Structure 1
Amino acid sequence: MSTRPLLALACCLLLALAGCAAAPGGPSTAATADGTPSAPPGSAGTPATVAPPADGLHVTVVEVVDGDTVRFEYENGTTDTARLLGVDTPEIYGENTPDEFEGVPDTEAGRACLDEYAERASAYTKNRLLGEEVTLAFDANEPRRGYYDRLLVYVHHDGGSFNYALVDRGLARVYDSSFERGDSFYAAEERAMAAGRGLWTCRDGTPGPAGADETTATASATATVTASDAGDGIVIARVHADAEGDDGENLNDEYVVLRNRGHEAVDLSGWTLTDAAGFTYEFPDGASLAADATVTVHVGSGDDTESDLYWGRSRPTLNNDGETVTLRDANGAVVAERST
């Protein structure tokens, strides 16, 4: 038998297979509404990083649905909905289930407390993000879209991770999944629980005092708490968020004052100050605070001295409408916290 028919048949089979590989229904690289290639079915999307990726999506938030869901507008004018990855704020439109929040009692008081924090989380997200340009990033371990076809994203705003800030402020629990940033989020949740911040006050069935998680400031600052032996005596004496005149033109009049009420100097090397949005200042090596002395951390730039340190921010940072600043020692333990 001639081999030519066999060769012809083989060629036909190869062409047919190639046609099947390119047939509709296979993985698509068509552009999504944002102009970027769509992820193939089952794809994990782009890898997540701590900082906003250079190729992250730049969008504008046009509506806040609740604390962990927003609608946004792409640069081409189309809109979409995003669900924040790794976090879960109490429900504002549905019934809250206390069992989902560790230690919150399944009682009328517990549910009422979570309802209160649903409103606070929504107000916080609206206050921080509505009308703002943000950067969206995806996670290698999570699909591009989830329930209701919402994008699953990390939201980066002004250099900080908004998802992380919700957990750190006690306005959200960590949503159990395989997302890449789980370790840091769970650590923030543990600290918020230990400090009794935000919704974790619901474990007593009573909302805590209003702070930076709301759009308005309280009449007076909350009491400073000390939770670290290493920082015994260190308090946040003042948070001055509203600089004189234009905040952007007077950054160093936004400041935080620490006072050492103890009897010995305290080494501040590696300590951090964090605001409600997650922006963090790290004290330089060798920084210390003498007994019965103060040090002022200014938001702007300048030359550090024993009494004045400079965050180095290029824009206003402390929120005039209510701010919470947390001081942690070099091991990450909360030393003091103050709200305005």
Structure 2
Amino acid sequence: MDRPAVVALVCCLLLLLAGCTVAPGGSVVDPDAGTATAPPGSGGTAVTASVPADGVEVTVVEVVDGDTVRIAYANGTTDTARLLGVDTPEVFGDNTPGEFEGVPDTEAGRACLDEYGERASAYAENRLAGEEVVIAFDANEPRRGYFDRLLVYVHHDGGSFNYALVDRGLARVYDSSFERGDAFYAAEERAMAAGRGLWSCRDGTPAPAGDGETVAPPSATATATGEGVVIARIHADADGDDAANLNDEYVVVRNRGDDAVALAGWTLTDAAGFEFVFPDGTTLAAGETLTVHVGSGDDTATDLYWGRSRPTLNNGGETVTLRDAGGTVVAERST
């Protein structure tokens, strides 16, 4: 064996013994060292979506709450990670409305934030628990924060989970010098303007409590392009065993307007954060309905299929939100 190969082998053994992790692309990351260095020629990182070249592949082994997870490295070591740039409402402590711009410091305001803390946690649980993700660090922020937690961006399924929390109104942006601040603040402003997620708490109305109560229900004619489009029905309790009859869980969307509406890129989202995206070419004619089934099947002009492999709509109480392609809430309905 030649000398370079011997050196390389020894280095690898030392790295494994030290508990270090090899990131995609060949960069090496020690969980307690400085920010990983990307290999030469790896290029930059897009602000919100692209997986960083110097990221580290880990598995989410536990979701603590909406912005905190437990992760496991390939070598079996575990750590606690706090998501950079975002702050979801508390689940295990009291919420402070003053931290969320415009939310009143009232019992109703706090109750609403409590509900969205639970929603953010459920969203993280459904999207991240047990999943392989890529974590990345920020040059402007320390490696670890309070309680010795790693401060990270989490990338999963082609996008930034941190950013998604803000975009969906499940988190606020906390003031810091993190590199992606401009994009996150822009997303927060859009969520605020649309009254999306926790920002609906600004009117002091309690969030849905599982019994069909709604928070600041948006108008079914919230946007000009979606005028008259409503959620006509939520059928959550399938006949028989839900798991064996997924397509009997469905949502019906109706166009009560006078003109056809192009739904391509629009989304339906349940209370836990599962999202269905209307495919390209989807159009809902005036006076017509379109049924979105939870299971799988061949799409037609009247029936679309979510493609889920397990029951999704909550039999005990569900809230479904319809948004247009720009993310603006068009309609919301609860059972």
TM-score, normalising length: structure 1? 0.69
CA gap of 1:320–1:127, structure 2 versus 1, over 3 A, is: farther
Q: Secondary structure at the match of 1:57?
A: strand
CA gap of 1:264–1:122, structure 2 versus 1, over 3 A, is: closer
Question: 1:280 is matched with which residue?
Answer: 275
Question: 1:261 is matched with which residue?
Answer: 256
Question: 1:69 is matched with which residue?
Answer: 68
Whole-angstrom distance in 2 between the partners of 1:97 and 1:338: 28
Whole-angstrom distance in 2 between the partners of 1:338 and 1:191: 22
Q: Secondary structure at the match of 2:189?
A: helix
Query: 1:233·1:260 contact (CA, 8 Å) conserved in 2?
Result: yes
Tell me by how many angstroms 1:78 deviates. 5.4
Question: 1:83 is matched with which residue?
Answer: 82
CA gap of 1:281–1:336, structure 2 versus 1, over 3 A, is: same
Match of 1:243 among 238, 242, 256: 238
Question: 2:60 is matched with which residue?
Answer: 59
Question: 1:210 is matched with which residue?
Answer: 208
AA paired with 1:249? Answer: A
Whole-angstrom distance in 1 between the partners of 2:35 and 2:271: 34
Q: Is 1:294 aligned with 2:289?
A: yes
The structure with the larger Rg is 1
Tell me by how many angstroms 1:52 deviates. 7.6
Whole-angstrom distance in 2 between the partners of 1:120 and 1:220: 12
Whole-angstrom distance in 1 between the partners of 2:70 and 2:253: 39
Query: 2:109·2:202 contact (CA, 8 Å) conserved in 1?
Result: no
| Identity score, percent | 62
Tell me by how many angstroms 1:149 deviates. 1.6
Q: Runs of 5+ in structure 2 lacking a partner?
A: 1-10, 39-44
Tell me by how many angstroms 1:90 deviates. 3.4
Q: Runs of 5+ in structure 1 lacking a partner?
A: 1-21, 212-216
Q: Is 1:38 aligned with 2:30?
A: yes
How many residues align? The count is 303
Whole-angstrom distance in 2 between the partners of 1:327 and 1:154: 28
Whole-angstrom distance in 2 between the partners of 1:184 and 1:70: 23
Query: 1:92·1:118 contact (CA, 8 Å) conserved in 2?
Result: no
Tell me by how many angstroms 1:246 deviates. 4.1
Alignment of 1:1-340 (within 5 A): 30-32=18-20, 37-38=29-30, 41-43=33-35, 50=49, 56-61=57-62, 64=64, 66-71=65-70, 79-91=78-90, 97-105=96-104, 108-109=105-106, 112-113=107-108, 115-127=110-122, 129=125, 132-141=129-138, 142-154=141-153, 163-164=162-163, 166-177=165-176, 185-204=184-203, 206-210=204-208, 217-219=210-212, 225=219, 226-340=221-335
Query: 2:137·2:152 contact (CA, 8 Å) conserved in 1?
Result: no
Across the aligned residues of Structure 1 and Structure 2, the Cα RMSD in angstroms comes to 4.2
Whole-angstrom distance in 2 between the partners of 1:288 and 1:167: 29
